[in-house]
Structure formats: C-alpha cells, structure tokens
Structure 1
C-alpha cells in the first residue's frame, strides 16, 4: 500500500512560530539547520495537549505519567524490542540523560569515545560529565559509513571507559548493523566499559532498513548498555522537554535508579503527555506519512544536487531528516555554511561543529516542503557563478 506523504505547513504559517528555527534569522533566510520539522503535529498529540490546556493541567509531572508503558508498547510494535517498563526512567532531554548516566559510570578525567562526525553537543556533554573526549571517527566501507570497531577496541584497551553512541547516527543518517553493535558490546564488556546510546532518531528509520536498538543487539549489550531516547525529534516536540533512560539489566537499572530525584523531576509535564500520545498507536499513521515525506525529500535532494551542484557528494540517509553533504570540491573552504548563509540566504548547520571530519561539509534539514528544499538548493547553486 502506498502511503501519502505528510504535507508541510506553508511558509507564511511557519514564520509565525516562535521556535529557534524561525526566530534565529531574518525572514529572507530559508532555515534548514536546527532539527525542527515543518509538519503539523500528530493529531493525537495536539488533542492531548489541548485537553491539558482546557483543564489547566500545567502542574508538576507525576512519578509515572504513562511514559513507561507507552514506550514499552511502542518499542515492541515498531522495533520488535521487548522493554521492561520498570527499567525506564524519565528526564528533561536526551543530552541531560546522557550527562547524568556518564557522571554515574565514569570518574573525572576518564576518556569517553565519540564517533565523529557526530552531533555537536556530544563533545560538550562528555566534558560536562567530567570526561575527556576521545575521537574514533566513522570509517568509509564500500561507500557506507561504519563504526571503526578496531579503533574503538584500541581506545578501550588503552583505558577509555565509555562509548557515547549515536544509533542511528547524526549527521550521516547511518543505521548501524546488528553485528556491528553486538561486536561493540563484546569489545566494551571485555574492557569493563559501558555504552551509552542516543537513539532519538530511531523512529525515523526508513521502512525496509533493519534497525537494532543497542540493548537488543546481544546479551552483552543488554548487560553494559544504556539507551536514552525521546519522541522529540520524530514528533517535533523538543520544546516540551521529555526523554527517557532505558536499561536491560539489573546492574544498569540500579545505576539509573540511583540517579538523584531531581533528574526525573526535570521532566516536562507537557513533554510527558505529548510523548505518551506520540508513542500510541493513534500516531502510527502520522509517523508512516512523515517517513514517506522524508523518503521523498531525501531522494529529491539527490536529484537536485546532481542537477544543480554536481560537485557535491551526498549519501542518502537511511534514517532521520538530516542530510550530510560534502562540498569540498566547490572550493568554498572549511566552513561553506557561512558563505551560503551570507550570500544565498540559506541557513545550514556548519560542518566543522561536528568534528574535524566536517570540514567542507554542511548538514541540511530535509524536514520541509519539497518546494523549500528545491529553492534552497537553487539558491546555493547560484553561488557557483
């Protein structure tokens, strides 16, 4: 059955929003940077929030707002992943969960592996947790990105204590293979290390692409892994502040249970209410329509670049709505997003913020109308002269 793509809202309506995407730059700039999307919310989410407003339901978040059961059912339905609800705890956002878990499992000065090019806050979160960033970049294997498992093993053997994983990976949209995740868990377990997996982009894996939650990759992964995730990226709920920390063993569950109560108190009530609605079956059709829209746009970007910017190198992401594009052959320097913003009036994420591997690259947000994406690429191509 063909699923009709979700339709983005018109620009004049979007420009009335007050979020970062629409308030950072003047109106002549097309904003394709921060991870917000241009689609209407899922109906179930809108209705749940509207009901809360009608009731004046704006108080403190209760100990169990329904997130545990909602996510466990969602994980089973969408990922074939069995999660025990009592091994889920909430917090404000994914990066806060990452920091608090790292603080609990490393000592000050311990090295934490990241796999660049990677989500820029990873670097700051490791430092905030008292760790030291150890870079083990992704490797290119037959035209696809993959974890450098040999490099990770060397770093762990040399004393690194944790791996901060992005699964699926941001900004490349790579979905790590089950075998690679199982091997990562085996390596980490052998060296007494842990893996903290940011899985916020998991709902956005394209149909037909096998996806494995880290904790489900192997018995070793279940023993040494922590997953932090949220409905915020897929369902455009970042401002409502809610994430969950998931464990699969008694040892790791004990670590999360021992986190200070304030970690859970920081969960936003509206974020929790919206998350429960997003993870319900009532929102599945909306998510499927969103995935169809993103599939259309990731393919459209390939066509647009081939036609207008043939020097650009782009691999279609298997997950998410973020495209990692190599513009080095255009000769626009290490940070082409700066020139693109100034001269084309298109805001993209700056490649170098993702690590040294991002020099000459940009990250493009595909969560928009096809017409917006088309105009953005045409504006950028006009800079070629």
Structure 2
C-alpha cells in the first residue's frame, strides 16, 4: 500500500483541508463540467481553501463596498518585493508595469504592441493550448519550435524557427512559457540568456508567460526572463492566480524590460479597466501576506509529486512521468498503454476520471495526458486507481 504523507510542521497543508463532498459544492469549471461520478483531475484549479490573507482582503473590501475600479501600484509593489525575496531579482521596476485583466489577455495585448496581423508567433510545444487559440484569434500565425530531449529548449530548433519567422523582413514574437506548462520544466538562466541572444540576433520580440513562477519545487531556481543578460527588450506577464488559486478574481501584471518600456507605454488606457479591483486587492494580499500559506502548499505539492511517482510505479508502470520542476501539473506519457492518441478520453470513458487530453498541446501531445495533482493525497490515489482500471 502506498504511504500517504502527513502534514509538514507549521501551517497545515492546504491540499488536505477540503473534503470531496465540500469540493463538489463548488460551481466552477473543474467541478461542474462533468457528471458527479467523474473525478476531476484536469483544469488548473486547486482543491484548496483560499489563503487567510486573501479572504481577509476580499472580505474587508466587500464590507466597505470597495468594489469600484482598480487604482494605484500596490499590486506591482507587492510583486516586486516578492520577486526580490523569492527570485533574488530586485529589477522589477514598478514604473514599468501595467495591470491587465489576466495573463492570456495580457499576452494578447503585448503581441499587439510588437507584431501585426499575419505575423508569426513562435511557441514551444507541447504547450498550453490557449497559446494556439489566442494567437490565432488575434490574427497571428503560430510557428512551432518543439522542445528537445528532456522537454528542454532546443537552441538549434529555436534558431531555425526565428530565422524562418523573420525571413522577408517580417516582425515576429516568441511566446515563452516559463515555467513550462504542461511539462513543468524550469528554464535555466543559461538557457534563457541563449534565448535572449537569439532574439537579439534575429530581431524577435520575447513575450514571457511567467504565471507559474511562484510554483517552483524546493531546490529549483526560477529565473525571470527580464533578469537575464539581453532580456531587457522582453515583456513579461505575471500573476498570483495560479499559485493562490485566484483565477476567478481577475488581475495580472504586464512588466517591461528597460528597453521595452516605450512599447508598454503604448498600451491603451482602457486595458486597465479590465482587471477586477477586488482581484487586484486579492492578488496583492497573496503576494504580500500569503507566503506562509504558499510555502505549505509547495511542501504539499512536493509530497504529491512523490506520491504520484509511487502510485504510477505500483499501478501503471508503463506510464512515463516527466519529473516536473514547477507547476502542479504532471505530464504523462501513456503511449505504452496502447490507448491511442487520446488516452485521457479512455480514462474518462472507462475510469470516470478527467484529465486533460494531450492533443490540444500541439506537437508532442499525442499519447499524453496532463494530470492536475493539486488535490488531496486520497483523491490522487483514487484517480490513479481509476486510470489503472480503465487501462486494464
């Protein structure tokens, strides 16, 4: 029998607080998309209560009727302090930030600033499916530069993609996912510096989605793209939404490097009307006062990574699990199970457990599935058991 880990000393593990019965009272996408007999281990929502600091901030705002339009720089100041403490990055300049509704809408706005209709946007598949959807809806053209061995950036593949993208004098952007979703790869400072050098050589603008930055595993170092040599012309999007489970409280920050400040200054003023004022208050409180809760979450996620490895070895040894360095997502190579290109559909139909299909993640996604391990150990154990039964 696989051992279920206990809470670590200090704050309680947020993943071990809510019961399945309590979670099924939620009305969000994770819990209402499928029938009640389906165990949801898919979309990026965590099975946790909110950090007390966030609850206090939102409750106080509602008590005051403080539900107007967002104002001020408190969110950016909180993120700058968090970045200096957690990532040893004192270079996040509040004056080079702007609030945006969320990270993906912020990505769209940044791409509008540095590309035009029909221009190419390079991505590293397998990658977060909305990269394809939002880029194409924007009228840009997705160009794939697949990750290399070990799901790491491949500089040769990236250089070819950059060269092809700018051929004929076109503008181009590289939409960097850092840390990477779904693989959990954390790009090293050296890898990011190589990206910056290539981007400078070919005139490609880098827009970095760094939403998972607070969710790096113990002992792994996250390097912001704007902190590497040559990254000064980049644009970054950050948010507290993934790390503190705040997707329903919309707010994110666009951050410009020193050489891209003029680009960010061209952001239309009306974009700042999109974020929720209550969302901004919640994200600010999370970054400023919710770090103890985050540390307890990170410890619980690390326990769950080890637990998932053990469960798969015991019940589904043919499944290959890429060891994630960040996020609360697990990228499962299920090709050896013989379930076809979409094993998630088989797990759903036969085992009544919902994972994300690998197919929408682009090249490299066939035969894979993405599992959300931000849940209780008991639910994780049940989920793997259902997967094993479905593949038998």
Q: TM-score, normalised by structure 2?
A: 0.94
Could you report, residue by residue, the CA deviation over 1:158-215 in whole angstroms, capped at 9, with x for unpaired residues? 2341110000000000000110100000000111111100000000001210210100
Shift of 1:335: 0.6
Shift of 1:65: 5.2
Say whether residues 1:166 and 2:174 are aligned partners. Answer: no
Q: Is the 8 A contact 1:116 1:357 kept in 2?
A: yes
Write the distance in 2 (CA, Å) between the matches of 1:46 and 1:319.
25
Report the equivalent of 2:387: 380
Shift of 1:270: 1.4
Say whether residues 1:221 and 2:231 are aligned partners. Answer: yes
Write the distance in 1 (CA, Å) between the matches of 2:107 and 2:162.
19
Write the distance in 2 (CA, Å) between the matches of 1:291 and 1:162.
32
Query: Unpaired runs of 5+ in structure 2?
Result: 1-7, 167-171
The counterpart of 1:369, out of the listed 368, 372, 376, is 376
What secondary structure does 2:312 align onto? helix
Shift of 1:96: 0.4
Report the equivalent of 1:337: 344
Say whether residues 1:92 and 2:98 are aligned partners. Answer: no
Q: Is the 8 A contact 2:238 2:252 kept in 1?
A: yes
Write the distance in 2 (CA, Å) between the matches of 1:333 and 1:364.
17
Query: Unpaired runs of 5+ in structure 1?
Result: none
Shift of 1:23: 0.9
Report the equivalent of 1:79: 87
Q: Is the 8 A contact 1:100 1:129 kept in 2?
A: no
The counterpart of 2:222, out of the listed 208, 211, 223, is 211
Q: Is the 8 A contact 1:352 1:358 kept in 2?
A: yes
Shift of 1:252: 1.1
Write the distance in 1 (CA, Å) between the matches of 2:18 and 2:240.
20
Shift of 1:256: 1.2
Write the distance in 2 (CA, Å) between the matches of 1:190 and 1:125.
27
The counterpart of 1:253, out of the listed 243, 261, 275, is 261
Write the distance in 2 (CA, Å) between the matches of 1:288 and 1:68.
21
Report the equivalent of 1:69: 77
Q: Is the 8 A contact 2:118 2:139 kept in 1?
A: yes
What secondary structure does 1:52 align onto? helix
Say whether residues 1:122 and 2:136 are aligned partners. Answer: no
Q: Is the 8 A contact 2:339 2:391 kept in 1?
A: no
Shift of 1:111: 1.0
What secondary structure does 1:153 align onto? helix
The counterpart of 2:141, out of the listed 100, 125, 132, is 132
Shift of 1:375: 0.2
Could you report, residue by residue, the CA deviation over 1:57-114 in whole angstroms, capped at 9, with x for unpaired residues? 112222x151121111111111111211111111101000101110110121111110
Report the equivalent of 1:150: 156
Write the distance in 1 (CA, Å) between the matches of 2:136 and 2:386.
38
Q: Taking structure 1 as reference, are residues 363 and 8 closer, same or farther at Cα in structure 2, changes over 3 Å only?
A: farther
Count of aligned pairs: 377
Say whether residues 1:311 and 2:321 are aligned partners. Answer: no
Q: Is the 8 A contact 2:347 2:391 kept in 1?
A: no
Report the equivalent of 1:230: 239
